[in-house]
Amino acid sequence: MAKVSMTVNGKAASGDVEGRTLLSSFLREQLGLTGTHVGCDTSQCGACVVHVDGKAVKACTMLAQEAEGAEVATIEGQANADGSLNTIQQAFQDHHGLQCGFCTPGMVMSAAALLKDNPKPTEAEIRDYLEGNLCRCTGYHNIVKAIMAASGQDVSSIAAE
């Protein structure tokens, strides 16, 4: 066991972990931040995407100890200070960009990372960027639409809500 310390959603967090403890396990089991989901064991599904020092990372693919001293952001820290949904979250709700909700935290975190680097992505750029995020419910239609809307683009001409 080794002690690991990091900043999670702006607050200091620490705990004792085994060498094999994944960041996703540390967040879920030790910090109780269960919004980060684990949907696979091959780093394909992207339900566990968090930000580590500002970069989108699959938390199932990183050891907790590798995040020593890092700034980690999870879905639990994304809402506005008053608790209201942030722009991306609100766009997902407005455009029905989620159904069962399981992939949603990863989708929101990936979308945030994309929009940080590319504030007005095209449809094709969004679809390409989401290569590492699987959704089984939505057929992706409303996820792509929500991200376009969150980036301030007019989505009214895209078929159906």
120 belongs to the binding site for another protein (CB under 8 A): no
Q: Which is nearer to another protein, 6 or 105 (CB)?
A: 105
44 sits near another protein (criterion: CB under 8 A): yes
| DSSP state at residue 104 | H
- In the 8-state DSSP scheme, what is residue 138? S
In whole angstroms, the minimum distance from the beta carbon of 77 to another protein comes to 9
Judged by CB under 8 A, the stretch of 51-59, 61-69, 114-122, 152-160 that binds another protein is 152-160
Of 36-44, 51-59, 63-71, 113-121, the window that binds another protein (rule: CB under 8 A) is 36-44
Window contacting another protein (CB under 8 A); options: 43-51, 62-70, 112-120: 43-51
Q: 4: alpha, beta or left, given left = phi > 0 and alpha = psi -120 to 50?
A: beta
Pick one of 5, 16, 18, 152: the residue that binds another protein (CB under 8 A). Answer: 18
Contact pick of 135, 149, 150, 151 for another protein (by CB under 8 A): 135
CA distances from 120 to 60, 86, 94, 110, 111 (A): 29, 17, 19, 15, 11
Q: If binding is defined by CB under 8 A, does position 133 make contact with another protein?
A: yes
Helices 141-150 and 104-117, interaxial angle, to 10°? 40
Task: Answer yes or no: are the C-beta atoms of 98 and 35 closer than 8 Å.
Answer: no
Q: Which amino acid is at 127?
A: R
Interface residues for another protein in 51-110 (CB under 8 A)? 74-76, 78-79, 85, 89, 92-94, 96, 98-105, 108
Residue 158 amino acid letter: I
